Structure 1
């Protein structure tokens, strides 16, 4: 047994996610700087997320056929080139919304397959290291939260120091380093003969049929898709507008994301350590209730800073428990030979409504103002997080079937 593949995947995730989180701060701030328009900010988020979701969903059969390692490396290399184009164009003085939108579209399309492939590597590296899935998914969840904390905090400072467009050059470097980490540390697996020869349509249809026939995965997909929609509206529009109008600029924007994520790291660390011993359904339901709606209400103008910080701390801590549970349930239920196509589909469906999040957030701020948009978002989020308490399907979260 060797834990080198797991270590390489962990390093790659830390690098690529840190770069992605930097983009999450720099890109909306760049658009607000260029246009001053909340709806244009949402439109830019749509231009990135729509191709991300679509290409990610379609990439599964290629991952199963050509190997997750190869797709991850090539996807990260292509992502590095696409992101680097933004600061390069900005240097010429010709960067406007009309040129930024196509570049952002390419960024999203390149990042989707790379992210799906790295996720598909999880069962492989867990088996190679003799590690339980909860330990691996918990560690990667911790890295996700830690990358958000460091990436967001650094992004706020970096954007304030050198500007949004130059800051994106750092993202290109992180994607390049991620490709090198996977290429050097993870061996290329060989698909089974039947999988290697299967046609694209048959492979995609088989993955979709499996997902459609699993009510537990479908219930999780429906819930997470809705909460991700609202989270996207928060991060791409509501929080940047709040930071501009109430909270003190790009530094405050990055600091708020970092504060939430810092305590999510603590929650994810606990999930990593004792996750296999916890009852999944109660933890999952309670974590979503705490991590969701309170954040939006705490951002209403006039809420005292101590209350806002307390809510962010508790919400972040609870959020750290969510992704390790979801990932462990997915990998337990999906047969190994279908890992690439089904995980690509499920993760794409998790993100399927996110392209609309920025548009919805921009439209809500335009129509209702910031306070009205925050109240609406918090109400919808609360309704979505009640699903585990209302649907019997979620009770199967505590079952631990072994995928064949």
Structure 2
């Protein structure tokens, strides 16, 4: 056998040389063919890169068109939220209506609404801390299950004729407390499902769900209350959370987000989020702008009834159309963001949208012509959702992963937590000076603040940012 080794070695060397020469010939042939194609292609109308470029272009177009919906986890989330949010809006109508039936007093109805949003203002940062410390999906599964408790409790109490006002107030407080945990986790969970590239598209789609449900949910609630009574709204809302829970449980392959743990007490970690927001010029200033607009320009349920009754003299039906028109504008704004996200997401465009929002509200306060008032509310609703959703996207994109829960809790406090204060302030101004003056003054304050931001911190609303 040893006698054959030289022959074997020679044969192997020959084979290797042959393969090497063949590979070289093949490489040279491909190079020559490519050179010939690059020289002759333009004459023949051919492009050597077309075969590779076409699939890439097609893939980019598909990714752009689908946006966040190309992610399986977000598709599940989207379906679950469509069902659950409609139920939530139904209960949002049923709860104050039940309070009105029990007390026949507008103040007590307003107190129910204020009670539901006060916990976010007081304790929102604790929810953000939980979102940064634990799995957001698990938190959301637990919070969705917790939302079912006040819904089913109010269904039982109201269907048995046992409901009392303090029970409605307790249920509203329970919903508000669950929101403290749910909202920061929900806001910061979006980027884990879709990544930074599709974040604005996902936020726009979430706004579409919210505003679409704001039309469908109250309409269904009104029909159900009129035909079957208040209890069924609570029951349907409780059942609707099963869709959201099921969607969350079906999600797979969520990215593992690195958790950066820091020492110190809970208050120290909360202060870490506050310190970041205060020192980051874009994040902190956008949070302030959201808070100012929420405080002065977003309390439609406080002033619009007065406009319908005392200014435009259009009655309850007209009030419904005023509310729906602003919701329609918000829905259009959300859809526009989903389609034109690159064009509408710049800081410069956001500034112009914020300024236009204020101008449309001032014009609405001066209008005494019902169709014009409707049109102005559609435009203001469009600007509202475009400004708020863009702020949400830019804040999330600028925030480190390990702080996102706490920063988004600040965002929730800015957007939702100041609501009760804004409602009280709007009502007080309307009481002393009238609804038109209250609306105009508040809109001017918002417009002035966003303009001062542009002048004093131009980087916040810089073109291309």
Q: Normalization by structure 1: what TM-score? A: 0.84
Q: Cα deviation per residue 1:315-341 (whole Å; 9 max; x = unaligned)?
A: 233334223311221112101122122
Which of 295, 303, 312 lines up with 1:229 in the alignment? 295
Residue matched to 2:190: 122
Report the secondary structure of 2:457's partner residue: helix
Q: Cα deviation per residue 1:279-328 (whole Å; 9 max; x = unaligned)?
A: 6334323333444564587478x933312222222223333422331122
Aligned ranges 1:2-401 → 2 under 5 Å? 3-127=71-195, 131-185=197-251, 190=256, 192=258, 194-195=260-261, 200-230=266-296, 233-235=299-301, 237-239=302-304, 247-249=314-316, 255-278=321-344, 280-292=346-358, 294-295=360-361, 298=364, 303-364=368-429, 367-368=431-432, 372-391=434-453, 392-393=456-457, 395-398=459-462
| Compared CA separation, residues 157 and 379, structure 1 to 2 (3 A) | farther
- Distance in 2 between residues matched to 1:296 and 1:96, nearest whole Å: 41
- Distance in 2 between residues matched to 1:394 and 1:178, nearest whole Å: 41
| Compared CA separation, residues 99 and 292, structure 1 to 2 (3 A) | farther
- Higher mean C-alpha displacement, 277-286 vs 379-388: 277-286
- Higher mean C-alpha displacement, 91-100 vs 59-68: 91-100
Structure 1: runs of 5+ lacking an equivalent = none
Post-superposition offset of 1:78: 0.4
- Distance in 2 between residues matched to 1:297 and 1:36, nearest whole Å: 34
Post-superposition offset of 1:152: 3.6
- Distance in 2 between residues matched to 1:7 and 1:24, nearest whole Å: 25
- Distance in 1 between residues matched to 2:259 and 2:428, nearest whole Å: 50
- Distance in 2 between residues matched to 1:230 and 1:155, nearest whole Å: 29
Q: How many residues align?
A: 393
- Distance in 2 between residues matched to 1:252 and 1:69, nearest whole Å: 42
- Distance in 2 between residues matched to 1:51 and 1:321, nearest whole Å: 26
| Compared CA separation, residues 295 and 22, structure 1 to 2 (3 A) | farther
- Distance in 1 between residues matched to 2:225 and 2:370, nearest whole Å: 24
| Compared CA separation, residues 85 and 233, structure 1 to 2 (3 A) | farther
Check conservation: 2:94, 2:230, Cα contact below 8 A. Answer: yes
- Cα RMSD over matched residues? 3.2
| Compared CA separation, residues 193 and 360, structure 1 to 2 (3 A) | closer
Report the secondary structure of 2:340's partner residue: helix
- Distance in 1 between residues matched to 2:88 and 2:121, nearest whole Å: 15
- Distance in 1 between residues matched to 2:396 and 2:247, nearest whole Å: 23
- Distance in 1 between residues matched to 2:201 and 2:428, nearest whole Å: 41
| Compared CA separation, residues 24 and 322, structure 1 to 2 (3 A) | farther
- Distance in 2 between residues matched to 1:32 and 1:243, nearest whole Å: 20
Larger radius of gyration: 2
